Amino acid sequence: MADKKAQLVIEGAAPVELPILTGTVGPDVIDVRGLGASGHFTFDPGFMATASCESKITYIDGDKGVLLHRGYPIEQLAEQSDYLETCYLLLNGELPNAEQKAQFVSTVKNHTMVHEQLKSFFNGFRRDAHPMAVMCGVVGALSAFYHDSLDINNPQHREISAVRLVAKMPTLAAMVYKYSMGQPMMYPRNDLSYAENFLHMMFNTPCEIKPISPVLAKAMDRIFILHADHEQNASTSTVRLAGSSGANPFACIAAGIAALWGPAHGGANEAVLTMLDEIGDVSNIDKFIAKAKDKNDPFKLMGFGHRVYKNRDPRATVMKQTCDEVLRELGIKDDPQLELAMRLEEIALTDPYFIERSLYPNVDFYSGIILKAIGIPTSMFTVIFALARTVGWISHWKEMLSGPYKIGRPRQLYTGEPQRDITALKDRK
């Protein structure tokens, strides 16, 4: 992969030759692993121009608004596939045939229950704890229950841990919600599909088992697909970094959940609804757009902008279509928040500030409106994101551990004090 070279000329030093590596598609990379010999580090806070690893899982072309999972466009997966098929694809590299799919669905179904003792773990949390705080704790605690699959160097252990996490995240997410509501937790049912099962555990009670709307189940499954993976985003990079130390998969996923929680990342879907409530009415949009443009105001337009997409986020386009479908199917006309969101998008996308910075709606802009229509409370939005992204996180974790890797250990540009001696306390000013 290295037939081209870059030459770095450093004043007063011999030029450094660095190999250029070429992938299947996308930008070439300059392999700087040999740069240390020159006595220099690269410097790239926020990793604006850094490829942290080689991967075959997801490809994003930010300029063209392209998102591929193992080569398949997200639009085709959202339209023609389902979430468990997408999980199989991300984990194994190919779409399953009918037999492989049946086997995978059955295996996942048979791992949806969690250890009964895990229920008492919840009692340590306040009922009004943020669901993401509980999710971080409970998922991290899974390593206290599944000792039999923690040898990260054993491919079978990696495989069973991946399936256990994909299977149990909906159960845990629903338990988090039921705990916050003071309602009994519901057991998963093997006669329901993945998305139906999640909605069953979320909204049914032992007193009444209502059938799950196929419209809502399909919308939920679509949302899971759209959030499944996204290359080396902050939370996925966190999972890889945690995994590079040899930490067990449950601890790594808990680290990913913590990173996802931030409003600049997965917490944005919850922040969008909060922002729409704050804006309240179309007449206030201009005031909030001015705030978003004001450098002295920390306010940002939630659900807008992206580190990679400098064109439309293809997931936002599918999400908007899904939003229209779900609201129409539910007979929700003129949803005020949707109206406000559409007007906000319209105004923002005609404003030079947003145009010059290529700030378009991202995956989080419309997802909250659908989740709300499905009946999911705002505080659970990022938990849904974490549920869906678990397969992406664990696919990257598996990919890293399946080949040679090193512990991630970045260096720094030190601008602190040079070496100095301690002054005795009695002599300090």
Of 229, 306, 313, 396, which residue is the catalytic one?
306
- For the chain, the three-class secondary structure string (H helix, E strand, C coil) is CCCEEEEECCCCCCCEEEEEECCCCCCCEECCHHHHHHCCCCCCHHHCCCCCCCCCCEEEECCCCEEEECCEEHHHHHHHCCHHHHHHHHHHCCCCCHHHHHHHHHHHHCCCCCCCCHHHHHCCCCCCCCHHHHHHHHHHHHHHCCHHHCCCCCHHHHHHHHHHHHHHHHHHHHHHHHHHHCCCCCCCCCCCCHHHHHHHHHHCECCECCCCCHHHHHHHHHHHHHCCCCCCCHHHHHHHHHHHCCCCHHHHHHHHHHHHCCCCCCCHHHHHHHHHHHHCCHHHHHHHHHHHHCCCCCCCCCCECCCCCCCCCHHHHHHHHHHHHHHHHCCCCCCHHHHHHHHHHHHHCCCHHHHHCCCCECHHHHHHHHHHHHCCCHHHHHHHHHHHHHHHHHHHHHHHHCCCCCCCCCCCCCCCCCCCCCCCHHHCC
105 binds ligand SDX (CB under 6 A): no
Q: Out of 307, 310, 312, 343, which residue is the one contacting ligand SDX (CB under 6 A)?
A: 307
Q: Does 69 contact ligand SDX by CB under 6 A? A: no
Contact (Cβ atoms closer than 8 angstroms) between residue 363 and residue 265: no
Applying CB under 6 A, which part among 76-84, 170-178, 249-257, 295-303 lies near ligand SDX? 295-303
Catalytic, 364? Answer yes
Q: Counting contacts by CB under 6 A, is residue 364 touching ligand SDX?
A: yes
- 201 versus 225: smaller Cβ distance to ligand SDX: 225
Regarding 396 and contact with ligand SDX (CB under 6 A), the answer is: no
Phi first, then psi: give them for residue 280, nearest 5 degrees: 75, -50
400 binds ligand SDX (CB under 6 A): no
Q: What is the pattern of x (binds ligand SDX, CB under 6 A) and - over residues 234-273?
A: ------------------------------xxx-x-----
Using the rule CB under 6 A, is 341 a contact of ligand SDX? no
Separation of alpha carbons 367 and 337, rounded Å: 12
Q: Using the rule CB under 6 A, which residue among 68, 105, 292, 340 binds ligand SDX?
A: 292
69, 109, 230, 396: which one contacts ligand SDX (CB under 6 A)? 230
Decide: is 380 part of the binding site for ligand SDX (CB under 6 A).
Answer: no
How near is the Cβ of 173 to ligand SDX at its closest, in Å?
18
Among 130, 164, 222, 306, binds ligand SDX (CB under 6 A): 306
Cβ closest to ligand SDX, residue 188 vs residue 305: 305
Is 363 a residue that touches ligand SDX (CB under 6 A)?
Answer: yes
Shorter beta-carbon distance to ligand SDX: residue 388 or 400: 388
Is 351 catalytic? The answer is no
**Catalytic pick among 364, 396, 421, 427:** 364
Residues binding ligand SDX: number (CB under 6 A): 21
Q: Does 312 bind ligand SDX (CB under 6 A)?
A: no
Nearest distance from C-beta of residue 180 to ligand SDX, angstroms: 24
- Residues 77, 318, 340, 359: which binds ligand SDX (CB under 6 A)? 359
Contact between 384 and ligand SDX per CB under 6 A: no
Tell the smallest beta-carbon distance from residue 354 to ligand SDX (Å): 7
- Name the residues that contact ligand SDX, by CB under 6 A: 230, 233, 264-266, 268, 292, 300-308, 357, 359, 362-364
Residues carrying an active site annotation: 306, 364
